Amino acid sequence: MQTLIEALQGTADLVVNRFYEELARLPKSRRILEMLSEQELAHLKMRQVQNLLAIAQPGLASKAHADMAMRIGRIHAIVGLDKEELVRSRGILQELVYKLIGRSVSSQSLSLYSRRLTSDTAWQLKAYQSVEDSQQEVLQRITRIVWEAGGYTHFIDQVIATLAAHDEVTACAIGRPDANGIFHFEAGAGGGNGSDALLNVLTTLGHEISVRADHAHGQGAVGRAWRSGNPERVVNYQTDPLVAHWREVAEREGLRSAVALPLTAPGQTPIAILMLYSAYPGGFVGPDQVAFIELLQTLLGCAVTRLQTHDGLHVAAVPMSVRQHWAALVRTGALEMHYQPLLSLASGHCGKVEALARLRDGDRLLMPDEFLFALASDDLLELFARGLAQALADRAQWLAAGHDLEVSINLPPAALNDIRYFDATRELLAAHACPSARLTLEVLENEALSLNQGQRAILAKFRALGVLLAQDDLGSGHSGLARLRELPFDWIKIDREIAHLGGVTTLDALRVVYQVTRLGHSLGKLVLAEGVDAADLLEALAILGVDGAQGYVIARPMPADELAVWIGGTARVSDAGAAASVLARLARFIVWEERVRMIAAMPGAARDLLGANDLREPLAEALMGLGDILPAGETRDAIQRDLLRALPGGRESAAWRAAMARLMQAIEAAAQEATATAHAH
Ligand code: C2E
Ligand code: CA
Ligand code: CA
């Protein structure tokens, strides 16, 4: 073997140079060689020489050799060297070795060397297989993430974490452009100098990326992919003139090539761009890689499109750096819980508050609509635990001041997949000596139609703990009626989109509130209306049988100390004059209508009952009870008579409809009169 090494030392350079000349004749390998800078090619040859010598070492253990060959094989797979050409090129190499040193060494060592070269090729091929397996695994994970995607931010964080763990990907990032076409990375990982270094470098040092063709920084892969809608590559940052702006950064971060994937449904304008960076030149162009990337793009495109229709993704891209700032705020005591009273409509008192998160950022108070969606899942857990701790501490203060208030707090959908939320709740209740029944968790739904087994199990644990559960935002589009029946909620909160009344739909809006309340009650749940911002609506809700109300008309969310003052003060919402309001009358009408509807549904029964003359008057009064809706007088009597006469004909009869139309008119008129009188005073 010693003579072999000596012979190789003399000729390895020649062998390798010849080898590369031959390699340049293989079509796919040539493409790879062509995109290397001179320096890179020289480096590659140097490594090849080292490798030829290493294989000739007499003491080379099989394990060490295998590791080395696998490592090199993985690089070959990652730069996209074609598998067949790999095998052919190894043949060429072997032949060259024979030809150039075959005569000067013993046949014994030559055959050992040749065997080692063959195993080397076999191990390299094994490395190809492992890269392919890893691609399969990544695709499977991504598929799961795509199916389970509930929110954009969480989704991109998961995608990035999965891709960054994949061998072929040295760094990756997802982002979107703003209105000016400046591109912002929203999530990313990898790069030579630690996970966020790359993004910070790319986004803060004037290496701004644009998606506009007329922008000086618009010709990078991101910009081109945004405009073309196709994957765009940088095969080598060191040689590609289009990305000269980023050459230095890329080198510093150890990024040699990249591909930009526009994410969208086929044929649509991109919604976001995924960048994958490789530590090697090549830009993900091998046939396996192209297939991998196409699948990846399709999967992620579907998810992003779905998330866009669902969330609207109306919120502008939040740069990674801002997200990190917010996440840091959550962890550094900038969280300030505010409290909004919930009014019990039966008692007219507030015995409960909803805790709502705000973030103090200098002299700005950030609202959840701004920061919530941009938080990663661990930040949300932190927000929950810190928010709950604060709320329970504040509750203890109020209690000390003589106000025993219930606290309600928002539980993000992710809490049903993550037992840490439950653990935090149990520990905090104990730590603050809060009876569990004084805490309500408001569960916001994700888009899934029904809960899986694991999620049900976590809900069951919360129930067993004794906290109350509320279904938040019913009717906001996120929550299905089916879940009402299925899930163990104590409260239903009707979204303000439904309770927001006004204009011509008022009557129907009240009808919906009324029916949802009846449905809730019949399922054994209490019902609260959110976003109540007018006094007359409160009275109407009480008439409709709604149990609770929350909204600006009662009080806005406020800091803990203000709440103590508020509760100690009035804490009772005045409803003077509201009884005469249009909404109150309409609410009474709706309740009345429901009663009459039942009778009208049985024309025969109505006819028989009403046929008994002596029963007629008292029955009419009992059935119709228009007294609550219209002021006494001729009009009311006339309408009542008409309705009674029409009743046996059923609800579809012309007579019934005409009488109803008259009733509606009279309600409007009476309400206008009441308003005018109120203004006159
Ligand atoms: P939500 O749970 O439906 O909370 C009620 C939101 O409606 C609050 O907004 C509140 O200020 C607002 N609101 C109350 N009354 C009225 C009204 O009469 N009119 C109108 N237009 N709005 C009213 P906020 O505090 O900005 O919270 C927005 C959403 O952010 C909440 O909706 C909730 O989904 C989420 N959120 C708030 N705090 C937290 C938290 O600590 N953790 C989690 N995971 N989510 C939170
Ligand atoms: Ca809520
Ligand atoms: Ca809500």
- DSSP per position, 114-172: HHHHHHHHHHHHHHHHHHHHHHHHHHHHHHHHHHH--SHHHHHHHHHHHHHTSTT-SEE
End-to-end CA distance of the chain: 114
Structural contact between residues 356 and 341, judged by C-beta atoms closer than 8 angstroms: no
Exposure string for 184-200, b = 16+ CB within 10 A, e = fewer = bbbbbbbbbeeebbbbb
Report which ligand 1 atom has the smallest distance to the Cα of 387.
41
Give yes or no for residue 571 having a pLDDT over 50.
Answer: no
Cα-to-centroid distance, 277 and ligand 2 (Å): 41
Distance CA 584, CA 637 (A): 21
Segment 18-41 shows an average pLDDT of: 85
Please, which residues have CB within 8 angstroms of residue 134's CB and are 6 or more apart in sequence? 166, 167, 168
Q: Which protein residue has the closest C-alpha to ligand 1 atom 30?
A: 368
Give yes or no for residue 188 having a pLDDT over 70.
Answer: yes
CB atoms < 10 A from the CB of 179, how many?
6
Cα-to-centroid distance, 358 and ligand 2 (Å): 14
Cα-to-centroid distance, 632 and ligand 3 (Å): 40
pLDDT of residue 196: 59
Give yes or no for residue 76 having a pLDDT over 50.
Answer: yes
Asked which of 30-34, 201-205, 567-571 is least confident by mean pLDDT, the reply is 201-205
Q: Which protein residue has the closest C-alpha to ligand 1 atom 17?
A: 531
Spatial CA neighbour of 179 closest among 211, 141, 133, 154: 211
Segment 407-431 shows an average pLDDT of: 95
Structural tokens at position 142: 């991504």
Structural contact between residues 671 and 582, judged by C-beta atoms closer than 8 angstroms: yes
At 472, give phi and psi (nearest 5°).
Answer: -85, 150
Q: Give the residue with greater pLDDT, 437 vs 46.
A: 437
Structural contact between residues 428 and 373, judged by C-beta atoms closer than 8 angstroms: no
Give yes or no for residue 488 having a pLDDT over 90.
Answer: no
Give yes or no for residue 353 having a pLDDT over 90.
Answer: yes
At 274, give phi and psi (nearest 5°).
Answer: -105, 125
pLDDT of residue 613: 58
Spatial CA neighbour of 469 closest among 492, 486, 453: 492
pLDDT of residue 631: 79
Mutate to test the pocket of ligand 1, among 326, 388, 410, 491 (most ligand atoms within 8 A of CB): 410
Distance CA 509, CA 504 (A): 9
Q: Which residues surround ligand 3, an ion (CB under 5 A)?
A: 472-473, 530
Q: Give the residues surrounding ligand 1 with Cβ less than 6 Å away.
A: 340, 356-357, 367-369, 372, 383, 387, 410, 412, 442, 444, 472-473, 496, 530-533, 550-552, 557
* Strands of 516-563, DSSP E: 526-529, 548-549
Q: Which protein residue has the closest C-alpha to ligand 1 atom 27?
A: 368
Cα-to-centroid distance, 175 and ligand 2 (Å): 29
Q: What domains can be seen in the chain, in order of their start residue?
A: 2-136 (1.10.490.10), 150-307 (3.30.450.40), 336-575 (3.20.20.450), 582-680 (no CATH)
Asked which of 198-202, 377-381, 409-413, 433-437 is least confident by mean pLDDT, the reply is 198-202
With pLDDT > 90 as the criterion, what percentage of the chain qualifies? 33
Give yes or no for residue 345 having a pLDDT over 60.
Answer: yes
- Name the band, by pLDDT with cuts 50, 70 and 90, for residue 644: confident
Mutate to test the pocket of ligand 1, among 153, 356, 425 (most ligand atoms within 8 A of CB): 356
Spatial CA neighbour of 461 closest among 478, 441, 481: 441
Structural contact between residues 256 and 275, judged by C-beta atoms closer than 8 angstroms: no
pLDDT of residue 334: 94
Report which ligand 1 atom has the smallest distance to the Cα of 444.
34
Spatial CA neighbour of 300 closest among 497, 177, 196, 152: 152
Beta-bridged to residue 210, according to DSSP, are 182
Spatial CA neighbour of 377 closest among 157, 159, 175, 163: 157
Ligand closest in space to the Cα of 330: 1
Q: Which protein residue has the closest C-alpha to ligand 1 atom 46?
A: 410
Q: Give the residue with greater pLDDT, 174 vs 604.
A: 174
The helix (H) or strand (E) run that includes residue 646 is helix 634-646
Asked which of 50-54, 440-444, 501-505 is least confident by mean pLDDT, the reply is 501-505
Distance CA 226, CA 87 (A): 38
* CA atoms lying within 13 Å on the CB side of residue 56: 23
With pLDDT > 70 as the criterion, what percentage of the chain qualifies? 86
Cα-to-centroid distance, 406 and ligand 3 (Å): 17
- Name the band, by pLDDT with cuts 50, 70 and 90, for residue 653: confident
pLDDT (tens digit per residue) in 108-160: 888 888 888 899 999 999 998 998 899 999 999 998 888 877 778 888 989 99
Q: Which protein residue has the closest C-alpha to ligand 1 atom 19?
A: 531
Q: Which protein residue has the closest C-alpha to ligand 1 atom 33?
A: 410
